[in-house]
Amino acid sequence: MKKEKKPKIYSTENGAVTVKSPTKLSILSLLEERERTGREIRENIDRSKSTISVHLSDLEKRNLIKEKQHEQDKRKKIYSPKFTFLGESKIPFDEHYEKILNNFNKASGNKYEFLKTLFHTIRYGLSSFGFDIKPALKEMGHDIGEKIAEDMQAKDMNQVLIEIKEFWDKNGLGKIKIIEEDLIEIEDCFDCSRMPNVDQTLCSLDEGIIEGIIEKKLGIENEVTETKCHGLGNDVCEFKIKIND
C-alpha cells in the first residue's frame, strides 16, 4: 500500500503556506535537492505533462517556486525553490489533534470546556503540523506573568507561590499544591490534562508565566522547568524553580 504523504508547511515571502497535494509535495521535494527543468520534474514524477504544468503554475502563484529560462535553450524552463521548510504533521500529536476536534460537540454549551478545547486545538494543532512552539509559548508566558504580577502583593517567595496558587484556582487553570519553595504540583492542568503520553513535557506556557511572576514581584532571575507532565504519562504536572545567582 502506498504511504500517504503528510501535509507540510513552508515559509514564503507571503507567509506560511500549507501544501497537502502529493504531487506538489513531490515537486517541492525534488527542488529542495536542486533546481530542475520541467522535463526533469516530469521524468521523476509519474504524472502527465499537463498535470505537472498545472501544479508548477499553482506553486509559482503561491510564491513557493520561481522559473527562469535555460541559458542554452530558451525553449526550456528551470524551476528553483523560494521556500523554507517549516514542518510536517507528527505522530502522536496529529492523532491527538483529531481526538480534540471530536470534543467540540461534547463541549458545546459549557464555556469552560469549549474554551479549553479551543485552546488545545490551536496549541496541539500547530504541534501536529510540526511547529515547535514551546519556546514562543514560554516567552509569551513570561510576558503574561509580568502583567499578572502587577496586581499581586507578595514580598517573598512563599507569598508569591500562595498568590500563584490562588490565581490558578480562580481562573480554572488547575489546582496547585506547594511542595517546597522551589517545587509545585498542578492537578487538572488546563494546558495538558487529557493529553496522552507523547514522551515530552508540554506546559511551556505555565513555565513562562511562573517565571514572569517571580521575576516581576521579587526582582530575581529564575528558571522554571517542568519535570512531570501528562505528556510524560504522569497524573500531575510538576515544576522545579531554580533561582539564578
Looking at per-residue pLDDT, the higher value among 87 and 64 belongs to 64
- Amino acid 244: pLDDT: 87
Residues 123 and 140 in one domain: no
Residue 1 has pLDDT above 60, yes or no: no
CATH of the domain at 150: 3.30.1380.20
- Amino acid 96: pLDDT: 80
With pLDDT > 90 as the criterion, what percentage of the chain qualifies?
64
Domain ranges, residue 47? 8-88
Q: Is residue 3 part of a domain?
A: no
| 208-218 mean pLDDT | 97
- Amino acid 31: pLDDT: 95
For 115-166, write each residue's pLDDT tens digit: 989 998 888 888 877 777 888 899 999 999 999 999 999 999 999 999 999 9
Residues 75 and 101 in one domain: no
Residue 197 confidence class, pLDDT cut points 50, 70, 90: confident
Residue 211 confidence class, pLDDT cut points 50, 70, 90: very high
- Mean of pLDDT over the chain: 90
Residues 145 and 195 in one domain: yes
**Strand ranges of the sheet holding 183-187, from the earlier edge strand across to the other edge:** 175-180, 183-187, 237-243, 222-228
CA 178 to CA 14: how far, in whole Å?
Answer: 47
Residue 2 confidence class, pLDDT cut points 50, 70, 90: very low
Q: Is residue 106 part of a domain?
A: yes
For 144-155, write each residue's pLDDT tens digit: 999 999 999 999
Residue 100 confidence class, pLDDT cut points 50, 70, 90: confident
Model confidence, pTM: 0.72
Q: Is residue 204 part of a domain?
A: yes
CATH of the domain at 53: 1.10.10.10
CA 104 to CA 199: how far, in whole Å?
Answer: 26
- The whole-angstrom distance between residue 179's C-alpha and the CA centroid of its chain comes to 30
Distances (CA, A) of 197 to 14, 97, 135, 200: 36, 14, 20, 8
Q: Number of folded domains in the chain?
A: 3
Residues 138 and 212 in one domain: yes
Angle at 3 between CA 67 and CA 58, to 5 degrees: 25
Backbone angles phi, psi at 57, to 5 degrees: -65, -45
CA 65 to CA 43: how far, in whole Å?
Answer: 18
- At a CB cut-off of 8 Å and minimum separation 6, what does 70 contact? 37, 76, 77, 78
- Amino acid 5: pLDDT: 64
Q: Is residue 160 part of a domain?
A: yes
- Amino acid 245: pLDDT: 72
> Buried (b) or exposed (e) across 198-236, using 16+ Cβ within 10 A?
beebbbbbbbbbbbbbbbbbbeeebebebebbbbbebeb
Q: Is residue 1 part of a domain?
A: no
